[in-house]
Amino acid sequence: MTFELQKCLSKLWKPLLVLLAINAVVCLWVTRDDPRVLPEDSVTDFFALYAENAERMDEEYRLGVSRTRQDSRYAPEGFSDFELFREVYSRIEYIEDYRGELQKIIDDAGLRAAGADGYQRRVYENVISLYARAKDGVVLGLEYTRGWTSYFGYRAGDFLLLILLVYLSSTLFTHEKTCGFLPLLRSVKNGRTRTAAAKICVLTVVTAAVFLLFTAETWLLFLFRVGFSSPDNGIQIFGALKLCPYVMTVGQFFLLSLAVRLCAFLGFSLAAALVSVSVYNPVAEFVAGSAMVGISLLLYLSRPLDPDGLLSNVGLLSSLEVIPLFARYRAVNFFGYPVSYPTVLTLVFVPALLVLPPAIILRYNVGSGVLPDSWLNRIDGITGAFREFLERTLPRARHKPSLSLFTAETYKTLFLRHALLFAAILFAAKLFLSAAAYKPPVSYSDAVYKEYMQILAGEATEEKRLYLTEERRRISEILESFEELQKRYIDGDMPAEEYQKVLSDYNTALGRDSVLSRVEDRLIYIDTQKEEGREAWFVYDTGWNKLFFQDFDWTLFFALLVPFCGVFASEYNGTSSSFGFAGILRTTKNGRRKTLTDKYLSVMCLSAVWIALWTAADLFFLLRAYELPVPDAPLCSLESTEGFAHALTLRQYGVLMLAARSLLWIAFAVLVCSLSEVLKKRMSVLSAAAIFALVPELLVYFGLTAFRGRTFVSLTQVTPTLVSGTAAPLCLGICAVAAVSAYAAGKSWGK
């Protein structure tokens, strides 16, 4: 075990230090002073003052406290006394309301329980007993609650730790396989079960240790930067946990959260290790690890829309956040009996932590060390058939192997490790997702809107204004005259056929009324733009908005990342040729500069083809479902792009947007290719590229707003950053990063 531990630490300490440093920077940024918020120390001092002179200050507050920021008595410069007093009294009100709110819940549940039976009745009974206990047992103290909310809400460290654990789990078990030592190791006395058990012990110890390191670092930084309020106060003092049904203090909750989070991280690293010993393939491990994190992220992100859902509350990321689990009583129906979410989580964690280690040992001992042969045969069969097809269709390729380095590199990139098949699967997924995203609209309102906008399309001329006025008059007239016309029909003064026409007009006018208001609002917008010196036209913008505001393309991301991560790395291992072929290759005539150039050219051309295919898929489905009319209209005709500073037409902007996006993706492909040379290992390339592209976006989601609109994800969505005016420097920045990395790769390859 000591040997395994030393081996592990020797590989881990560098990435660990880097990630700890990143975590520290993020913590420092999150805990920075905000000049708009009352300084923590002033509020703490004021609470102390209030504690000593409560009666006098109550009286002072009752008589009225200054709201101006100039003549404040207690507040620091730039703030009013009223703001300080509100800090105190908002907490007093919160505490005063607490038991009343619980009593309301208890009463409500009691009334509902009377009319319910079975599972629902048991849920209500649990609510009553838990909240009655909380009502009697929770002690809420008046204090300035500081530190804890930010600390519990801080999530960036979790992602950094997850990345580290994916790396740790995979390297721990795959190292022997990678260097071909695994069969030998298995043949020795302690080479199977004991080795696997030692590796699992190391994994567990190191996971726990790095978790505690990250926790301690984060906690200490929060302590020194913000400080923490009393750990003896009831956890319900925090709004997010006001309805927590359990009686516990902040300190107890902190320890509980440590335990839950430790179990979650342990479960994750063991699951990642199981994947590792099952596939022994860095790419597959990366994809599986990403999938685990991705699925739990999706579940986590769905929580705002489904806050009570089981999966969105007990998924990996939700478990790591802990607060949702204890925020309120939630239960799942287990054969008619309610099981609370913390219990469900325990029922998941405990068996998982017990079952995973034996499963890893079993797999390590008896597994073939690769994907099951049947799978490989099938995959090989598919790619082999495709290769044969290409050779049949292009007979020259079979009889006369190309001497072009570019062709050879392209061929190698496409067929190495089934990259083409992988890309094809992703493209199929892309087609499916695009078809779902761009379904033809069947909404009546949109159809009417489209009709109006087609009539009005173009500049807001006097004729069009007249048309709108006339249409408004016509609709109002139809709606207003209906009763009179109906009376004429009832009185026999109107034939049935004519009345049917009246009814038809009435129904149409009724449906168009609100849509016409929307079109009239657009005219107001056009006039506002004109006043500000910009020109805007009438455009049916549903399709344009769909085109300009696309989500991040995950399929393209993986289609570029996975095939290109081995462009150089494959030359450093034995997969494509003999082990360490790079050394031999570089001694040949064209092995340095020409090979390097052709590899990059190949990657750029292939990524351009990929991007073209992906864009074509989007455009095909978009144009099938929506129209993109009046392409010569000014861009600010769309209210959603109002802030865009440059005078472009929709068509020009569309081209610019697609070009900018293509450029960004090509830069990303170049970056991946460069990382492949610099890091020399697929797993490292995948991790580094994923950190570069995705982690900043996750950090934004979890509060690091400094990255908002500056992440790779938001940049490839283009329009939001173009509208905010930050796109050009950021695009250039990404391209510069790609260029510098390519330069570094060139240097490294040329050594």
Partner 1 sequence: MKKRTPGMLPLLIGLALLLCGCGSGQAFIEYPEQNPQGNESGQIENYVYAPVEDKSYPYNAISGPEQLKYDGGSLYFFNGNPSPHEKTGATLMAFDLASGTILPVCPDPLCSHDNPGCPFYGFDTSYYAANGSIYYRRGYHYLVYNAEGILIDAVDHADLVRYDRSKDKLTVYEDYGDDLSYSAYNSQLYFNGFQYYYDYVYDPDTDRHYFHICRRDVDSGKVAVLGGDLNEDAVYERFLFALGSRIYATDGKQLFSVDPDWNDRRALFEGDFSGKVLCDGSEIFFERTVSGRIVLAKTGLDGGGVTELGIECSRWVLTDHYIYYLSADPYFSGGTELTGGTVYRCDHDGGRIEKICDLNDDGSDKYLSSLCAVDNYIYCFFYEYRNGEQISYRSKLLRIDASTGEMTYYGIR
Return the number of other C-beta atoms located less than 10 Å from residue 646's C-beta: 11
Q: Within positions 135 to 174, which residues make up the interface with partner 1, using CB under 8 A?
A: 139-144, 146-147, 149-150, 152-153, 155
Distance, CA of 39 to CA of 8 (rounded, Å): 44
Closest among 388, 438, 373 to 620, alpha carbons compared: 438
Which helix (H) or strand (E) is 340 found in, with range? strand 337-340
By the rule CB under 8 A, 258 interacts with partner 1 = yes
Closest distance of CB 614 from partner 1, Å: 23
Q: Within positions 469 to 508, which residues make up the interface with partner 1, using CB under 8 A?
A: 483, 486-487, 489-490, 496, 499-500, 503-504, 507-508
- What's the N-to-C CA distance of the chain in angstroms? 38
By the rule CB under 8 A, 39 interacts with partner 1 = no
- Residue (423 or 453) nearer to partner 1, CB: 453
By the rule CB under 8 A, 21 interacts with partner 1 = no
- Residue (129 or 504) nearer to partner 1, CB: 504
Q: In a 3-state reduction of DSSP, which class is residue 337?
A: strand
By the rule CB under 8 A, 47 interacts with partner 1 = yes
- Residue (76 or 441) nearer to partner 1, CB: 441
Distance, CA of 264 to CA of 257 (rounded, Å): 10
The interface mask with partner 1, positions 682-721, x = CB under 8 A, is ------------------xxxx-x----------------
Closest distance of CB 314 from partner 1, Å: 15
Distance, CA of 387 to CA of 481 (rounded, Å): 74
* Per-residue CA distances from 541 to 459, 519, 637 (Å): 14, 12, 8
- Residue (184 or 447) nearer to partner 1, CB: 447
- Residue (243 or 405) nearer to partner 1, CB: 243
- How many chain residues interact with partner 1 (CB under 8 A)? 106
- Residue (103 or 404) nearer to partner 1, CB: 103
Q: Within positions 311 to 340, which residues make up the interface with partner 1, using CB under 8 A?
A: 321, 323, 328-329
DSSP per-residue codes, 225-284:
HT----TTSBGGGSGGGTT--S--BHHHHHHHHHHHHHHHHHHHHHHHHHHHHHH--HHH
By the rule CB under 8 A, 112 interacts with partner 1 = yes
Cβ–Cβ under 8 Å, residues 159 and 26: no
By the rule CB under 8 A, 540 interacts with partner 1 = no
Distance, CA of 302 to CA of 524 (rounded, Å): 37
- Residue (280 or 621) nearer to partner 1, CB: 621
Q: Within positions 429 to 448, which residues make up the interface with partner 1, using CB under 8 A?
A: 441-448
- Residue (6 or 590) nearer to partner 1, CB: 6
Q: Within positions 179 to 238, which residues make up the interface with partner 1, using CB under 8 A?
A: 205-206, 208-209, 212-213, 215-216, 219-220, 223, 227-233
Distance, CA of 679 to CA of 699 (rounded, Å): 24
- Residue (416 or 437) nearer to partner 1, CB: 437
Which of 308, 373, 470, 498 touches partner 1 by CB under 8 A? 308
Closest distance of CB 133 from partner 1, Å: 15
DSSP per-residue codes, 514-576:
HHHHHHHHHHHHHHHHHHTT----B---HHHHHHHSPPP-HHHHHHHHHHHTTTTGGGGSTTT
Q: In a 3-state reduction of DSSP, which class is residue 75?
A: coil
Return the number of other C-beta atoms located less than 10 Å from residue 170's C-beta: 26
By the rule CB under 8 A, 635 interacts with partner 1 = no
* 115: phi then psi, degrees, rounded to nearest 5: -100, 5
Return the number of other C-beta atoms located less than 10 Å from residue 571's C-beta: 25
Closest distance of CB 577 from partner 1, Å: 40
Closest distance of CB 329 from partner 1, Å: 6
Stretch that binds partner 1, among 177-185, 254-262, 267-275, 575-583 (CB under 8 A): 254-262
- Residue (328 or 682) nearer to partner 1, CB: 328
Stretch that binds partner 1, among 44-52, 423-431, 458-466, 650-658 (CB under 8 A): 44-52
Closest distance of CB 514 from partner 1, Å: 6
Cβ–Cβ under 8 Å, residues 158 and 320: yes
